[in-house]
Amino acid sequence: MLVAESISKRFGGLTALNDVSLNVKPGSITGLIGPNGAGKTTLFAIIAGFLRPTAGRVLFEDRDVTTEPPHRRAQLGIARTFQIVQPFAGLTVVENIAVGAYLRHPRRADALARATKVARRVGLGAELEKPAASLTIAGRKRLELARALATEPKLLLLDEVLAGLNPSEIRDMAPVVRSIRDEGVTILMTEHVMQAVMSLCESVYVLSEGRLIAQGAPQAVCEDRQVVEAYLGRGAAARFRPAGAALA
């Protein structure tokens, strides 16, 4: 479905990604984890077309999309959410989602109907006419997901959609993510909430300081010595632990 081939990205002197390759299988939920600053968001931006890699290629359904702009990739079926939520603040919830729905439904009535359906799906059904700016952080995360989903993607890139949510909100969202996959959408997600990664993902890639340090089934990866060191050694444990503790 998605193949990233030896992706490198440098920002001036900083190497954010160094020779990263990954392969996302169709119909899977694949995790991308790693400490803060590992390069997860940068890799998402490269896959979705917002950044050009310094080296390497992005293949989507066997097609080289490395130089395609973001809107073309959205048309091809790649949708992303933003870790730092980017709502259209002046618009209502349903209008926000409709912008995504217009991609496959040019008529207004169809796009609005589609947007309403997607809103219900992610639990925003009661907030359709509210201004997006009035949503709580959990609501905004749902809105990110809804807008991306409304484009009817084949591949959905979720950048920490669970971060900042409380345990009960996470319990609400996890099944939604799973049901999206069950309808045939392939998902690549980054997450700091390990419990969610363990329960949702079939396969996990671990990034640290721009390098891929492990990959495989979530359970095996978590026991990997290098992975543990990457997290604890960088002091990221401080962030890692409360997230885990909150779930306990």
Partner 1 sequence: MTARDLLPIAVAVALTALVPLFVTTNTVLNFLVLVLIVALAAQGWNILGGFGGQFSFGHAAFFGTGAYATAILQTRFGVNAWAGFALGVAAGALAGWIIGYLSFRSGLRGSYFALVTLAFAEVFRILANAAEVTGGAAGMLIKLDMRPANFQFASRAVFFWVALALVAAALVLTRGIECSRFGARLVAIRENEEAAQALGVDTLRTKLAAITLSAGVTAASGCLYAQYFLFVDAQIAYGTWISVEALLAPIIGGAGTAFGPLIGALSLHALGEIAKLFAGRVPGIDLALFGCLLVAAVAFAPEGILGLARRTRPRLKPAAG
Ligand X SMILES: Nc1ncnc2c1ncn2[C@@H]1O[C@H](COP(=O)(O)OP(=O)(O)OP(=O)(O)O)[C@@H](O)[C@H]1O
Site pattern 78..117 for ligand X (x: CB under 6 A): -----x----------------------------------
Cα torsion 50, 56, 60, 62 to 10°: value is 160
Q: Which residue has the tokens 């959205």?
A: 74
Q: Which residue has the tokens 């917002």?
A: 50
Mask of contacts with Mg ion, 70-109, x by CB under 5 A? -------------x--------------------------
The reply on whether position 124 binds ligand X by CB under 6 A is no
The reply to whether 208 sits near Mg ion by the rule CB under 5 A is no
How many residues would you count in the chain? 248
Partner touching 79 among partner 1, ligand X, Mg ion, none, CB below 5 to 8 Å by kind: partner 1
Judged by CB under 8 A, does residue 6 bind partner 1? no
The DSSP annotation for 127-152 comes to: GTTSBGGG--HHHHHHHHHHHHHHT-
Closest CB 92 distance from ligand X, rounded Å: 29
Nearest CB to ligand X, comparing residues 50 and 88: 50
Give the span between the Cα atoms of 239 and 202, in whole angstroms: 24
